């Protein structure tokens, strides 16, 4: 509630048609609240039975430690022009405002439906053809080593958590990651602009129009095409990491 006046002012500034409306015309609801951001729906009534809406995405605290916001904001206009995600309306210090997508978020089980799986594959192939200006060097290993560096210097107030944390050998993990990098370098894998986070929560479907949307490009970067595909299949296991779900899908297919 304390953010409501600021959010309304922000929308009035960025949406030209709303600039002269009274604050009482606005309604705000939470769409979702994840680890890296909070998604809000801001609506204005138009007549007795219709409304127009936008999405306000607020970045979570300290997410800039693991997410390159500059890279994300550079990519969004090009991805939007290619038909991916919502239309960008404006940027502010800790978030973005975009058009509202009338669709439902998929569940891990939805992704396994043959019709939806085929559409995801088609859309991902198109996504990988989008050209984003700038360096085309794959960022996967840079990002992984950045995460490792930050993960290796954490401190927990909970003593039990701190004890478990101190049992982790980050040197061992780093050596394994380096070995994986050396092996992948031998493959000369195709490099494309990749989504890198294609879990069910970042896929939306308008059932009426049968239109699929990719959303949230926070981790988007140039990377290996095979990694993006494999990372998506990895998400079949869901948040509980139940890899039996992935095995069952392969058996059915």
Q: What is the CATH number of the domain that holds 189?
A: 3.90.1200.10
Query: What's the rounded mean pLDDT across residues 119-148?
Result: 95
Cβ neighbors of 215 (< 8 A, separation 6 or more) are 85, 86, 101, 202, 203, 204
* CA–CA dist 96, 43 (Å, integer): 16
Residue 238: pLDDT band (50, 70, 90) is confident
Q: Domain containing 117: what range?
A: 104-245
From 50, 67, 99, give the residue that closes a domain: 99
155 and 205 within one domain: yes
Residue where a domain terminates, one of 99, 120, 140: 99
Residues 139 and 30 in one domain: no
Query: Taking 90 as the threshold, does the pLDDT of residue 64 lie above it?
Result: no
Q: Can you give the pLDDT at residue 141?
A: 95
* Number of separate domains in the chain: 2
Report field, pTM of the whole predicted structure over 0.95: no
* DSSP 8-state class, residue 1: -
The answer to whether 71 and 64 have CB atoms below 8 angstroms apart is: no
Same domain, residue pair 54 and 139: no
pLDDT digits (tens, 9 = 90+) for 210-231: 999 999 999 999 999 999 999 9
Query: pLDDT for 197-212, tens place per residue?
Result: 999 989 999 999 999 9
Q: What's the pLDDT tens digit per position in 155-207? A: 999 999 999 999 999 999 999 999 999 999 999 999 999 999 999 989 999 99
């Amino acid at each position: 509630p304390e953010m409501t006046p600021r959010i309304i002012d922000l929308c009035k500034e960025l949406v030209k048609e709303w600039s002269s409306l009274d604050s009482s015309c606005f309604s705000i609801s939470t769409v979702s609240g994840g680890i890296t951001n909070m998604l809000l729906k801001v609506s204005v009534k138009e007549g007795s039975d219709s409304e127009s809406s936008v999405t306000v995405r607020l970045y979570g605290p300290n997410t800039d430690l693991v997410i390159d916001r500059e890279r994300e904001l550079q990519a969004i206009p090009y991805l939007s022009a290619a038909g991916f995600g919502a239309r960008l309306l404006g940027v502010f210090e800790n978030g973005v405002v975009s058009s509202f997508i009338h669709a439902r978020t998929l569940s891990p089980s939805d992704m396994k439906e043959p019709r939806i799986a085929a559409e995801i594959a088609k859309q991902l192939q198109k996504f990988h053809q989008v050209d984003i200006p700038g360096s085309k060097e794959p960022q996967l290993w840079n990002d992984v080593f950045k995460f490792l560096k930050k993960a290796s210097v954490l401190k927990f107030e909970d003593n039990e958590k701190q004890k478990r944390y101190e049992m982790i050998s980050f040197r061992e993990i780093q050596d394994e990651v380096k070995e994986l990098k050396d092996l992948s370098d031998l493959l000369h894998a195709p490099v494309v602009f990749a989504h890198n986070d294609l879990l069910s929560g970042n896929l939306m479907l308008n059932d009426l129009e049968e239109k699929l949307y990719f959303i949230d490009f926070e981790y988007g970067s140039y990377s290996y095409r095979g990694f993006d595909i494999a990372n998506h299949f990895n998400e079949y296991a869901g948040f509980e990491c139940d890899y039996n779900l992935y095995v069952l899908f392969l058996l059915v297919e």
